[in-house]
Amino acid sequence: MNIALIAHDKKKQDIINFSIAYQHILKNHQLFATGTTGKKISEETGLEVFRFQSGPIGGDQQIGAKIANNEMDIVIFLRDPLTAQPHEPDVSALMRLCDVHLIPLATNIAAAEIVIRALANGNFSWRDVLKQQKEEGYSE
């Protein structure tokens, strides 16, 4: 599965800790992240992470493009709801794309743990079916 890992500044340590704790699961998947988040996860875990630009300068939109092209399966976006974000429209657009394209989206550590455990249990095989249907021309 293709997994996007994103975190606002005040949540970066949380996503690093999450990545360390679930490294044994994440290592079996393709990981994508916005700039600094991806760098820190890779440095701390040794996991291979494809890095997009930083969120505020286009990284959120780059991940959004992957979602729109059916090339992303899960998004873990640890958001800081108490700090204003200058790129909030991009964040909202990314979340909307997840809803439109049926991409599981975890925006806090509790939801991220549920998603990662479901992934480990094989509960996302429906994503493979959905991808195949889209490739065959079936539309939602």
49 beta partners: 31
List active site positions.
60
Are 70 and 39 within 8 A, CB to CB? Answer: no
Residue 8 is encoded by which pair of tokens?
Answer: 């606002």
Cα 124 to Cα 38, 110, 118, 138: the distances in Å are 23, 18, 7, 19
DSSP secondary structure letter of residue 137 = T
> Residue 134: phi, psi to the nearest 5?
-65, -40
